[in-house]
């Protein structure tokens, strides 16, 4: 898993430089993305092309996007990444910032799933449930 964490760190940094295509190098074709409805981009999406579209939408809505990971927890094929997210809205230039938790399911170096949470305890519970399946 150390390589998986390094890949995630590199991808988050690349996104901040406007090089979000690095994310897609690691995305499995059957990728699933889930975020709570109250979060930006909330919902459930499947497929690499859909994830690419979500990244494009994020870029269209916001400028100066930064993901700053602060902590990683590894459990089986899951990596829990605590991070700060900030950006500037393209419409009015309003700066937004939020702490998020990304739960990645990774197998053989490919990202199978991303779940986005605003609460770390909830994210860790999702990992426990996922491991119990």
Kindly report the CATH number assigned to the domain that includes residue 58.
3.10.450.50
C-alpha–C-alpha distance, residues 29 and 87, integer Å: 28
pLDDT 10s digits, 122-133: 999 989 887 655
Q: Which domain holds residue 13?
A: 2-132
Secondary structure element (H or E) that encloses residue 57, with its range: helix 48-61
* Tally of CB atoms within 10 A around 108: 8
Copy the structure tokens of residue 14.
């690349």
Q: pLDDT over 90 for what percent of the chain?
A: 62
Q: What is the number of alpha carbons within 13 Å of residue 54 lying toward its C-beta?
A: 20
Count structural domains, the chain: 1
0.85 exceeded by pTM: yes
C-alpha–C-alpha distance, residues 101 and 84, integer Å: 9
Among 6-20, 36-50, 69-83, 111-125, where is mean pLDDT lowest?
Answer: 36-50
C-alpha–C-alpha distance, residues 14 and 21, integer Å: 8
pLDDT 10s digits, 22-55: 888 899 999 999 887 776 667 888 998 888 888 8
C-alpha–C-alpha distance, residues 95 and 42, integer Å: 20
């Amino acid at each position: 898993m150390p390589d998986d964490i390094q890949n995630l760190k590199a991808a988050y940094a690349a996104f901040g430089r406007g090089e979000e295509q690095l994310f897609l190098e690691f995305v499995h074709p059957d990728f699933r993305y889930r975020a709570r409805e109250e979060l930006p981009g909330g919902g459930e999406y499947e497929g690499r092309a859909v994830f690419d579209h979500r990244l494009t939408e994020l870029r269209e809505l916001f400028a100066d996007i930064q993901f700053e990971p602060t902590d990683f927890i590894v459990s089986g094929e899951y990596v829990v990444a605590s991070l700060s997210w900030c950006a500037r809205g393209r419409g009015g230039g309003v700066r937004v910032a939020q702490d998020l938790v990304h739960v990645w399911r990774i197998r053989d170096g490919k990202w199978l799933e991303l779940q986005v949470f605003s609460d770390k305890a909830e994210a860790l519970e999702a990992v426990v449930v996922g491991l119990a399946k």
